[in-house]
């Protein structure tokens, strides 16, 4: 099992791709999700500090 922290970036736009690259370069496991699809946590659409869902 990989013990690297996992991060989820919402959106494939310019900001989403940039954050994906920066976080991945920092050594985190990153996934990107499309907010148009179902299954995105409701809290992902609000501005707030990073936390676990």
What is the predicted pLDDT for the residue at 53? 47
Residue in the block written with tokens 């013990």: 3
Q: Compute the average pLDDT of residues 33-41.
A: 70
> Region 7-16: what's the mean pLDDT?
82
User: Would the pLDDT of 50 be above 70?
Assistant: no
pLDDT for 25: 93
Over 90: is that where the pLDDT of 44 sits? no
CA distance 44 to 25: 22
pLDDT band of 34, cuts 50, 70, 90 = confident
H and E: helices and strands count for the chain: 1, 2
Return contacts of 35-41, CB within 8 angstroms, 24+ apart: 35/10, 35/11, 40/10
């Amino acid at each position: 099992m990989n013990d690297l922290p996992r991060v989820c970036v919402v959106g494939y736009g310019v900001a989403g791709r940039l954050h994906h690259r920066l976080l991945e370069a920092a050594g985190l496991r990153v996934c990107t999700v499309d907010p148009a699809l179902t299954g995105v946590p409701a809290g992902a659409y609000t501005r707030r500090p990073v936390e676990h869902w």
